[in-house]
Each structure stands twice: as C-alpha cells, then as structure tokens.
Amino acid sequence: MAGPRPVVLSGPSGAGKSTLLKKLIKEYDSVFGFSVSHTTRNPRPGEENGKDYHYVTREVMQAGIDNGDFIENAEFSGNMYGTSKAAVQDVQAKNLICILDIDMQGVRNIKGTNLNPIYISIQPPSIEILEKRLRDRKTESEESLQKRLHAAKVEMEFSKEPGAFDVIIVNDSLEDAYGQLKNALLEATFLEKVQK
C-alpha cells in the first residue's frame, strides 16, 4: 500500500490505547488518521457506527474475510474484529499516517503482510492496575473480565518477545505515556523522511 508508513498500536484492553489514540488524533488531525475497524460486537454506550467501529453481522464480516478484504482479523469473546484494506486506504488517500488499533492476533497477522508499519505496544503498569481500570469501566460481566485479564497476561508476555514491537510504552500516567507516544512517532516519521 502506498502512502506514509502506518502505525500499529497494540496492547491489552484497558491499557489506554483508545484514550491515547483519541488525544493524538485530536491534536494532530492533519497528520494522523484512525483506521476504523470492523466488529460483530454490539456498540457500547456512546459509540458510533463508522466512527468507533463499523458494526456488521458475522455473515458480512466472514464474507469480507473470505474475499480477502481484510489485512487482519481476530476473534475475542465470541465477537469478530478486523481491519479492512479499504479502511487503511481511506486514511492514506487523505495523505495521513494511518493508525491501526489492533490486538496481538492482529499484530501477528500484519507481520505476515507487506504493510511494514511501526509497531507500538501500550502496556498497563501491572495486571492489578489493569483489572481496576477494567472494573471501573463497568462494561464487562465477571466472565468477560476474566477473559480480558487472561488475554492481557498473554499480550503482556508477547510484548516482551524480541522484535515483536519497535516501541513499548507503559501507561502509568496518561500525560507521560502520551509524551512517549508523540516522541516515538515523531522520531519514527522523522527517520523515515531522512532515509528517503
């Protein structure tokens, strides 16, 4: 895919990816664009179709996957998630750096493509703090929360694998994590321009 090198933002649910991403896009809306993923899950209160996710049926999503329309896809808690090629192309067509918010499965899938993004992992300071953040959301059943915590432990281990990520940011303070994210992106995009 042509255009500036995309950015993959990954990390456990509750680590603060969405908050950091919204802050980044609000401040730099002429530089970065968010790739809107598809999902078969129901919208949470306040979420909008086409803005937070493209909410689709399992049949529609599976047909897109079968047609090769998705760069990556994964299933979690009985719901499908994925990034379509069109979603990334929509951002790149505006000459923006595309940011993809995906999970560990998605990272592994993308490593097998020619997308060549900058991989950034957002991590919680600890599993205990992550659990508190997830409980404070009050959007999960206990069973769903335990699944997310288990997945988080696996993702936190994955982030330690050599070469899995270019940058790892521990989000113990939103402002500090945001500063690190901006610095990592400025450095990566600057180096890319210098190398051209």
Local structure of 30: helix, strand or coil: coil
- Contacts of residue 143, Cβ cutoff 8 Å, sequence gap at least 6: none
Q: For residue 16, which of 159, 172, 147 has the smallest C-alpha distance?
A: 172
Given 5, 58, 135, 148, which residue is catalytic? Answer: 148
Q: What pLDDT shows up at residue 190?
A: 60
Local structure of 144: helix, strand or coil: helix
Instruction: Tell me how far apart the alpha carbons of residues 11 and 128 are, in angstroms, rounded to a whole number.
Output: 15
Q: What pLDDT shows up at residue 3?
A: 65
> What stretches in the chain show pLDDT beneath 50?
none
Count other C-beta atoms under 10 Å from residue 154's C-beta. Answer: 12
Given 44, 58, 108, 133, which residue is catalytic? Answer: 44
137 catalytic, yes or no?
A: yes
| Domains of the chain from N-terminus onward | 7-195 (3.40.50.300)
3: DSSP letter: S
Instruction: Tell me how far apart the alpha carbons of residues 193 and 13 are, in angstroms, rounded to a whole number.
Output: 32
Instruction: Tell me how far apart the alpha carbons of residues 182 and 87 are, in angstroms, rounded to a whole number.
Output: 23
Q: What pLDDT shows up at residue 2?
A: 56
Tokens of 17: 């990816």
Instruction: Tell me how far apart the alpha carbons of residues 32 and 109 are, in angstroms, rounded to a whole number.
Output: 22
148 catalytic, yes or no?
A: yes
58 catalytic, yes or no?
A: no
